[in-house]
Structure 1
Amino acid sequence: MSRTSEELVIPGRHSARRWLPYAISVVAGLVVIAATYVIVRPDPAGCVPLRVNSSSEKSSLIGKLAERYNKSRGRDVAGRCATVTVQGMNSGEAMNELAGGWAGSSPVPQVWLPASSLWIGQLRQLNRDALLPREDHPVIASSPLVIALPKEKGLLLQERGTLGWGEILGAPSQDGWATFGHPELGNFTFSKDNPALSTSGLAATIATYYAASGKEGGSTLTLDDLEKDAVTAYVRGIEANVSHYTDDVVDLLKRHAEADLSLDGEAGVTDLNAIVMQESLVYQYNRGEMSPSSGSSGEPVRPRVPLIALHPREGTYDLDHPYVVLPSTDQQQRQIADDFHEFLLEKPQQEEFQLFGFRDHRRTPSAELSRWTHARGAPRDPFKEPAPEVVTKILEGWNKLSKKANILVAIDTSTSMNAQSGNRSRFERATEATRKALALLGTEDKVALWSFSTETKQHPDAPFKPEVRLSRLDQGALTEKLDKLKADGPGTALYTTVRAAHRHMVENYAPDRINAVVVLTDGRNEYDADNNLARLLRDVKLDPRKPVRIFCIAFDRDSDLGSLEEIAKTSGGKAFDARDPARIEDAFRAVVHSFGAR
C-alpha cells in the first residue's frame, strides 16, 4: 500500500518516574536519561496504528524499516491500511515501564524489541500480565557480546592465542599489562554498562559468572554455581578492573571517537583498555558511525585507532533481539504485528540488519563483519540463557561485588540558586535530587560533600567549604547537612572549586575504587581570581595512573553547559544537560549509575 505523508525522526527525552518495590529493584527501579528517537507519522484516516518500542542501539534502523513497510504495497489488514511507528528506549527502562503498567508520557506500545530475551524473563518475574501467556518470541537479529580493545593492544592479546574472560579482564588486576609481558602499558582497566539497566552490562555480568563457574558455551548456569567461593572471588577480581560503569555505551563510544580524532593527530588520553559491548557496535565504531564529524564527501570519518573484537575462549553471551507482541494489541494490530515481523525477516530487511553490524535472525554474519571488527575466528556456542531466578541472584551478587566509589559532590550555593523553578527554588530542587541520587549508593561507597559560591562572611578564606568529609555513606548525616545548607554566596567560583575538588580526590585516590567529582551548578564562572578555563583543563586532565573523573550537571538555563562539557570530557567524565529543571533528578541518577549505583 502506498503512503503520501512524510515520516519525521524527532529526538526527544523520556524518563520513567515510578520506582517498583521489588526485590530485584536493581533491574526494575533504575532509569537513565537517554535520547529516544520516535518515528512519527500522522495516522491517515482509517489506518490501524502499530506502535513499536525498540532498544536504543537499533531504533534508528527499525525506524527506517518501518518507513519502508509503511510505503510498501499489499500490507492492508481487513481492507484497512497500517501505520507502524517506532520509539527507541533503553531495554531496562522499557522493561520497567511495562512492569509498572506504562505510566510514561509516550503511547503504550504493541510490540517490544529489547536487545535480549533476558529482559523478558525479568519482566515475567515482575509482572506476568505485561506479556502474553505462553508466547514464543522469535529472533529478528543477533549480536554476540565481545571484548573490544584498541587495535595495537588487541593484537598483543591475539598473539597470545584465544584467552578467556578472566585472563583478559581479571588476571591483570594486580600487575596490569605486565601480565601480558608489557609493563610499559601500565594498568589494565575496562568499562562496561551498568547491568541493572543495560543489556550489554547484564550479559557481560552473566558471562563473567559462566566463566567463573568453569562452564563453556552450551552449558547452563545454576543457583548452586553462584554459591561457590571460587566463583565469588573470580567475579570480584574482574570487577576490580572496572574503570567505571557507563550509563550509555554508545555515548561512551562517541566520546572515544571524538578523542581519537582530536589533539593534532594524537588519540585523546584515556585509562580504558577495553570495553565490553555488542559486536555490532564495534562494527559501527570502526566504520566511523560514531564519529562527531564527516569528511568533505559527507561520509563518516573512520577512527585512526580502530577496535578489535575478541571472542573469549569459554564462549560468550548472544544478544538475540527478540520480537515481543504485547497484550495491548487488539485483533487487527496483532495481524499487523505478525505481518511486520514477517517483513523484518525478509531478505532485503535482513541485509539491512547486516549492514548495521548485526548478524541475521539465523545468527549468520555478513562477509564484511569480521573485516570491520578485526575478529579472528567465530565465537563458540553461546551461553544458554539462565533461568530468571538465576539472573536475579547474579544481580544481587553484583550489588555486593561491584567496584565501590569515592565521590566528592560539590553543590552550588550562590544566591542565583534561590530563583524559582516551578513551585520551588532551584536550590530546593538540587538538594532534593542530591538526596535521592545518593540514596542509590551502597553503604560501602564513600562520599564527601562540598558547598561553593564565592567567599562569604561565614567562610571568608575560600569560595568552597567542605561540609562532609570523605567517608562511608551516611545517608542521615548527608540529609541533615543538605537541609541546613543555604544559597547565600554572591557569585560562582566554578573553576577554583572544580580544581580544588579534583586535587582533593587525587590526594585521596583509592586504586580499588571509582574516584570521581560531581559538580552541580546553575551558573558559570564568576570569579575573577581564577577565570582561565584552559589552565583548569590542564590541571584536571585525566591521569591514567590516578583517574579522577569529573561529572558535571548543568542545572537551569543560566548554566554554562559548554564549559562544563569541556571540563568533563578532559577528565574522562561526562556532562549532563538538566537545564530543564524537570530533568535534574534523572540527571543525578544517571551520574551515580556510573558508580555502580542500583
Structure 2
Amino acid sequence: MGRHSLPDGYATDGSGDGSPPRRRRTVVIATMLVLAVAAGTAVAVQGGVLSFSKSCEDSAVRLTVMASPDIAPAVRAVADKARTDETRSDGHCLHVQVVARDSYKVADALSAGTRTPDYQIWLPDSDLWLDRATGSGDGIPVVPGDSIASSPVTLALVPSAAKALGWPKKKYSWAELMASSMESDKVRLGAADPGRSATGLLALTSIAASSDKQGGDSDTRVAATAKLLAQRTSDGDTQVLETLAQDSSGAEEGNPQRNQAVLLSEQAAFAHNAGSTGGGKLALFYPKDGTPLLNYPYTLVNGKELSTSESRAALRFMTLLGEESAQRTLEKHGFRTTDGTAGESLVSSAGGRKPQPYTASPATAPSAAELQETLGMWTITVQSARLTTVVDASGSMATVVPGRNQSRMDVTKASLIQALGQFTPNDEIGLWEFATTLDGAKDYRRLVPTARLGDPAKGGTHREKLAAAFAALQPVPDGATGLYDTTLAAYKEAQSTYVKGKFNAVVILTDGSNQDDNSISRSGLIAELKRIADPERPVPLLAIAVGPDADREEVEEIAKVTGGGGYQVNDPAEIQAVILQAVMTAGQGGRAPQE
C-alpha cells in the first residue's frame, strides 16, 4: 500500500534507517550510567562486585521487571540465578522480581500516565511499543536501552498445510505467501490482533511492503488480507496458538474453527514445539524478502524517580543479561542473539529447515510512520468507520501555505481527497463546513450526509459525490471560526445517528481558535460534552489544528473528554496521514471518555 509521512512530531529516532536491528540506544543508557557513576564508583556499577560484608537480605536492592510473557520465564531464570549467586551492585545484592504482562497493556498504561508504576524496568517484545507508550509525551517517561534478544516473525503451519505449500523447498515473499495461503481457502490462516501484538503488526506491515513491490493495486490486496485475518484474529500471541489444529490425523481438517497456519514468532513456535509431539509440531516459512525481528529493548521506567541504588542496580541487571551465561539461558528458551543469529539446533527445534532462508539478514525495520499507517489501515479495514468530517471554511483558510502556491483550503481539499482513497466501500463518511453566519444564525452547514461510500448516488457513488464536495469547498471571505457551536452540533448528530459495530467519530479540521462571541463558551462546551458522552456509544472527537495560527491545546482539551485527541499539522498536506493516525489511536481498545 502507499506510504505517507506523518508530521515530525510522530517520527522517532533512527527508525527505518536500514540498519537492523532497530534503534541501538547505547548512547542513551551510557549517559545514564555516567550520571549514576558520578555519585559513586564506576567499578562498582560496571562490575557490581563490591561487598561491604552485609547479608544479602539486609542490603538487597529490589527491582521489578515488567516483561513480555514470552521472554519473562528466561529473564526470571537469570534473575533467580543472580539472587542465588548473591550477585551485587555497588555492594548491594540484586533481587529482581519478574512479572509477565502483555506489552500493549504496559504501553497503554504508561501513555495514560494516570498511575505511578510499581516497576522500574520494562521488557516489551518490540520497540514499537515505546512509541505507543510515549504517545503525546504526557505519560510516564521511559528511557530505552539496547535489545537483549531477538526473534524473527514467521508463518507457522501444521504439517499438512506446510506440505500443501511445498515446505521446506519452496520459498515465498510475504506477498506470495499470503496469496498462496489464501488461494481457494487452501490454508486457514490466523493471526494475533495487530493492535495488541507486535508479531501481528510487524507481519502485516511486511505484507504491505511486499505487496507494494509487486505493483498493481496493492492497497486492495493488503485490505483483502486484513479482512481475511480479521475473521480469524485472536487477542494475543498465546491465544492464536490455541486456534491451531492439534494433529495431522485429519480429525480436525474440516473444522472451520481451527487454523492451519498462524503468523508467529520463531520463539513462540520453539516453545510450542517443545511441548508437542509428532503431528503437533509446527513448520516455519521464512519469507525470502526478509523477516522482521522482535527485539526486546531493555527500558528504564520513570528513571528520574529512581534512587541512586535502584538506577545502578537496573543498569547492573542490564549488563548481566548481556553476559554469556544469561545469553545461553535466553537461547535455551528459543531466543536469538540481538543481531538475529541463531544456532541450527534452535532453528530446527522451532520448525525451520533448509533451504528456508532462516539465516538471511533481518528485514529493515519499518518506520514509525509505516507502522502507524498499517495499524490505521487495519482499524479502518477491519472495523468499518462512520465519520462526520467537519471542515473550517473561515476566511483565513484562503491564506497561502508557505512554500506552495496554494491556499490552506486548496491543500486541505487535496489531502482529504487523498485520504478518501484509504477507506473501503463499507465505510460511512459525511461532510460539514463551518464559518460564522454561514447558514443564517448557524455557524455550520451540512453538505453531504453520512452514508456508505459504496452506495449509489446521482452520477455515481457516494464516494464520488463526497470527493466532488471536497473539491468544491471554498473559504467564506468574511467568515470567522465558529468552532464551539459547530463542534457541539456535529457531536450531537453523530451520537443520534450512531451505528453499532462501526468506529463512529467526528473529524474536525480548523486553522484557528473560536471567534464567535455569541457561541457557547469553551468551558460550557467541555462540560456539555462530558455530560452527554456515552461509553456505550463512543463518538471520539478527532480535532486537527491546521497551520501555525491554530491552537492545538484548545482542540486537545475539547477532544479528550470524548475519548478522542487533538493533533497539530503545520502543512495541510499532512492531514490525510494524521487522520489515519488519529483513527488508529482512538480505535485502539475503544478508549472511554476521560473524567
Which TM-score applies when normalising by structure 2? Answer: 0.51
Aligned residue in 2 for 1:317: 292
**What CA distance in whole angstroms lies between the structure 1 residues aligned with 2:333 and 2:232?**
27
1:463-542, aligned counterparts within 5 Å? none
- State yes or no: 1:101 paired with 2:76: no
Q: How much identity, in percent, do the aligned residues show?
A: 21
1:478–1:118 CA distance, 2 compared to 1 (3 A): closer
AA of the residue aligned to 2:286: H
**What CA distance in whole angstroms lies between the structure 1 residues aligned with 2:425 and 2:136?**
26
1:304–1:171 CA distance, 2 compared to 1 (3 A): closer
Aligned residue in 2 for 1:463: none
1:166–1:389 CA distance, 2 compared to 1 (3 A): closer
- State yes or no: 1:333 paired with 2:341: no
Aligned residue in 2 for 1:61: 74
Aligned residue in 1 for 2:151: 143
Structure 1 spans left out of the alignment, 5+ residues: 1-21, 25-42, 178-187, 216-227, 289-300, 406-441, 447-471, 481-591
TM-superposed deviation, 1:148: 0.6
- DSSP-derived class of the 1:358 partner: coil
Which residue of 341, 344, 349 corresponds with 2:326? 349
Is this contact kept in 2: 1:92–1:198, CA < 8 A? yes
1:373–1:594 CA distance, 2 compared to 1 (3 A): farther
1:322–1:23 CA distance, 2 compared to 1 (3 A): closer
CA RMSD of aligned residues (A): 3.8
Aligned residue in 2 for 1:48: 61
Structure 2 spans left out of the alignment, 5+ residues: 1-8, 12-55, 386-423, 429-454, 456-493, 501-586, 591-595
Aligned residue in 1 for 2:164: 156
Which residue of 124, 135, 159 corresponds with 2:134? 124
1:185-264, aligned counterparts within 5 Å? 188-214=187-213, 230-242=217-229, 243-254=231-242, 256=244, 259-260=246-247
- DSSP-derived class of the 1:241 partner: helix
Is this contact kept in 2: 1:189–1:241, CA < 8 A? no
TM-superposed deviation, 1:200: 1.0
1:109–1:250 CA distance, 2 compared to 1 (3 A): same
**What CA distance in whole angstroms lies between the structure 1 residues aligned with 2:203 and 2:357?**
18
Which residue of 249, 268, 271 corresponds with 1:284? 271
Which TM-score applies when normalising by structure 1? Answer: 0.51
**What CA distance in whole angstroms lies between the structure 2 residues aligned with 1:241 and 1:392?**
20
Is this contact kept in 1: 2:89–2:312, CA < 8 A? no
1:374–1:239 CA distance, 2 compared to 1 (3 A): same
Is this contact kept in 2: 1:53–1:112, CA < 8 A? yes
Is this contact kept in 2: 1:194–1:593, CA < 8 A? no
**What CA distance in whole angstroms lies between the structure 1 residues aligned with 2:136 and 2:278?**
42
**What CA distance in whole angstroms lies between the structure 2 residues aligned with 1:189 and 1:261?**
14
Is this contact kept in 1: 2:293–2:340, CA < 8 A? no
- DSSP-derived class of the 2:190 partner: strand
- State yes or no: 1:305 paired with 2:302: no
Could you give the per-residue CA deviations for residues 339-385 of structure 1, whole angstroms, max 9, x where no partner exists? 11111112222112111111123422133122223323333332322
Could you give the per-residue CA deviations for residues 263-318 of structure 1, whole angstroms, max 9, x where no partner exists? 9x877934423100101111111111xxxxxxxxxxxx525332111011211211
1:593–1:124 CA distance, 2 compared to 1 (3 A): closer
1:593–1:139 CA distance, 2 compared to 1 (3 A): closer
1:365-404, aligned counterparts within 5 Å? 365-375=342-352, 376=354, 377-379=356-358, 380-402=360-382
Aligned residue in 2 for 1:486: none
- DSSP-derived class of the 2:64 partner: strand
Could you give the per-residue CA deviations for residues 64-97 of structure 1, whole angstroms, max 9, x where no partner exists? 22111222234142x3333211111111111111
**What CA distance in whole angstroms lies between the structure 1 residues aligned with 2:179 and 2:347?**
26
- State yes or no: 1:272 paired with 2:259: yes
Is this contact kept in 2: 1:166–1:238, CA < 8 A? no
**What CA distance in whole angstroms lies between the structure 1 residues aligned with 2:232 and 2:588?**
9
TM-superposed deviation, 1:479: 9.6
Is this contact kept in 2: 1:286–1:306, CA < 8 A? yes
1:349–1:205 CA distance, 2 compared to 1 (3 A): same
1:149–1:332 CA distance, 2 compared to 1 (3 A): same
**What CA distance in whole angstroms lies between the structure 1 residues aligned with 2:181 and 2:340?**
32
1:355–1:445 CA distance, 2 compared to 1 (3 A): farther
1:330–1:232 CA distance, 2 compared to 1 (3 A): farther
**What CA distance in whole angstroms lies between the structure 1 residues aligned with 2:175 and 2:340?**
26
TM-superposed deviation, 1:392: 1.7
- DSSP-derived class of the 1:363 partner: coil
Is this contact kept in 2: 1:122–1:388, CA < 8 A? no
TM-superposed deviation, 1:128: 6.7
TM-superposed deviation, 1:142: 0.5
Is this contact kept in 2: 1:192–1:276, CA < 8 A? yes
Could you give the per-residue CA deviations for residues 529-578 of structure 1, whole angstroms, max 9, x where no partner exists? xxxxxxxxxxxxxxxxxxxxxxxxxxxxxxxxxxxxxxxxxxxxxxxxxx
AA of the residue aligned to 1:48: V
**What CA distance in whole angstroms lies between the structure 2 residues aligned with 1:195 and 1:213?**
19
1:412-431, aligned counterparts within 5 Å? none
**What CA distance in whole angstroms lies between the structure 2 residues aligned with 1:54 and 1:268?**
38
AA of the residue aligned to 1:389: A
Is this contact kept in 2: 1:247–1:593, CA < 8 A? no
- DSSP-derived class of the 2:172 partner: coil
1:279–1:403 CA distance, 2 compared to 1 (3 A): farther
AA of the residue aligned to 2:283: I
